[in-house]
With several copies, the nearest count.
Chain A
Amino acid sequence: MLEADNLECVRGDRSLFRDLSFRVDGGQCLLVSGLNGSGKTSLLRILCGLLAPMHGTVRWRGQPIRALGDAYRSELSYLGHLSAVKEELSAAENVEVASALAGRSVPAQAARSALAEAGLRRREDLPVRVLSQGQKRRVALARLLLGGSTLWLLDEPVTALDADAVKWLAGEIDRHVARGGVAVLTSHQDLPLATAPLQTLRLRA
């Protein structure tokens, strides 16, 4: 489904990687690893179309993502180093509002149960500002789960999560892949994934 074809990424005046090609199909998971600064974030941003590669193309279902535009974006969820949660809004409002902006409104009830699953039961109505670092990250993850999209691009999703939450997230990724979805992840920690077809891509700076 997701193909990278001869990608090259240049940041500043250094080429981070070149001739990078891979293919991830439905029901597969790709783990991108590499040292700090090896270009994992840059790769993920290229894959979702936020950053233009120096060379090469990214294809989704055989078509270049530039050509697909909104059609591609409606199938994708991206979670970056930044969690994109609004500190003023409550956790529940955050999830609802973000889903509406992404063009996939969800009923309030669904938002609350996603938050509960993410371990924020009874904190749904607190403003996010007062949540701890890990709790904020969980709000972002709850939003991800609700998206119902086929392609997950997760940049260090387990940052700030405690061991329980890491296990829960790994389970969710497993289920997503088992459902036929595609997941591309980066992480410096080991993720207890059970999915069979796990590819690993190692970037070296």
Chain B
Amino acid sequence: MSEASLWNGFSAAVRRDLLLAMRRKSDVLTTLFFFVIVTSLFPLGIGPETDMLRRIAPGVLWVSALLATMLSLNRLFAADYVDGTLEQMALSAVPLGVLVAGKVAAHWLLAGLPLTLLAPVLGLQFDMAPRSLAVMVASLAIGTPVLSLIGAIGAALTLGVRGGGVLVSLLVLPLYVPALIFGAGAVEADVSGLGSGAHLSLLAAMLAVAGFFAPWATTAALRIALE
């Protein structure tokens, strides 16, 4: 298969998922709203002391972003599996891995990217300093693709499995832990004067590893699900 047609397949997959998302706009918006609402629940559940809120802000924002991404995972493959589109993708002349990479990219564009852009606004609610906000955005920008990539494996593994929707969180959340630690840690390291560089570069290294392995593992999982 030529490189051009691989690229065509990739972009066809991205464009298709974006088109579908345009049709069900609520899908994208609700991921965002979920993020907003969960972060806002914390001050309600914990109480309004600014001091404490500022300290827990990076953690809360990251955990919420992580949960929001995770919740949107089940729309990654489930619908395509149920209506037979995934079967057709597996039978496409374009290698399945390329189409999967396209779908994951679209997922990030629709979930991770908007979350990253929205995070600073929510950070203000917690009275975070501008500098911390910048670090926060950087860590989310590098970290959310990792979440999409790893999440795709979990979503593929639980396809057509009983109770898949919640099972995916069980599989994926433990794997998300390093991203969470370095992501939220980056902000705290910056606040405590240690500099966020080390955390961010570890996050970037994780992105590289995930970008390399995850599409492969996801494809393998999809083929298993289709048997």
Q: Which residues of A contact B (CB under 8 A)?
A: 48-52, 70, 73-74, 76-78, 80-89, 93, 97-98, 100-105, 127
Which chain B positions have C-beta within 8 A of A103?
5, 8-9, 92-94
Closest Cβ of chain B: how far from A94's Cβ, in Å?
10
Contact residues of B: prevailing secondary structure: helix
In whole angstroms, how far apart are the Cα atoms of A23 and B16 in the complex? Answer: 37
Question: Would B23 and A88 count as touching, CB distance under 8 A?
Answer: yes
Q: Which residue, A51, A100, A103, has most C-beta atoms of chain B within 10 A?
A: A103
Q: How far is the CB of A124 from chain B (nearest CB, A)?
A: 16
Interface set of B (CB-CB < 8 Å, partner A):
1, 5, 8-9, 12-13, 15-16, 19-20, 23-24, 79, 82-85, 87-95, 99, 162, 226-227
CA of A83 to CA of B24 in the docked complex: distance in angstroms? Answer: 21
Give bound CA distance, A73 to B227, whole Å. Answer: 16
Instruction: List the count of A-B residue pairs having beta carbons below 8 Å apart.
Output: 85
List A contacts of B85 (CB < 8 A): 84, 86, 98, 101
Residue in B82, B83, B94, B226 whose CB lies within 8 Å of A102: B94
- A73 contacts B19, C-beta separation under 8 Å: no
- Please name all residues of chain B whose beta carbon is closer than 8 Å to the beta carbon of A76 when the two chains form the complex: 91
Complex contact B93–A74 (CB within 8 A): yes
**Selected contact of B92 from candidates A50, A80, A88, A102, CB within 8 Å:** A102
Most chain-B Cβ atoms within 10 A of its Cβ — which of A76, A88, A98? A88
Beyond A50-B87, A51-B227, A84-B88, is A101–B5 a contact (Cβ under 8 Å)? no
Q: A78-B91, A104-B93 are in contact. List 10 more A-B contacts (CB 8 A).
A: A48-B91, A50-B90, A73-B93, A76-B91, A82-B84, A86-B20, A89-B19, A100-B16, A101-B94, A102-B88
Whether B93 and A82, one on each chain, are in contact in the complex, defined by CB atoms closer than 8 angstroms, is no
Question: Please, how many angstroms separate the alpha-carbon atoms of A89 and B99 in the complex?
Answer: 19
Question: Is there an interface contact between A84 and B83, defined as CB atoms closer than 8 Å?
Answer: yes
- Least CB distance from A188 to B in Å reads 20
A/B interface sample: 19 pairs, CB < 8 A: A48-B91, A50-B91, A52-B227, A70-B1, A74-B93, A78-B87, A78-B88, A80-B84, A84-B87, A86-B79, A86-B83, A87-B83, A100-B16, A101-B9, A101-B13, A101-B88, A101-B94, A103-B8, A127-B23
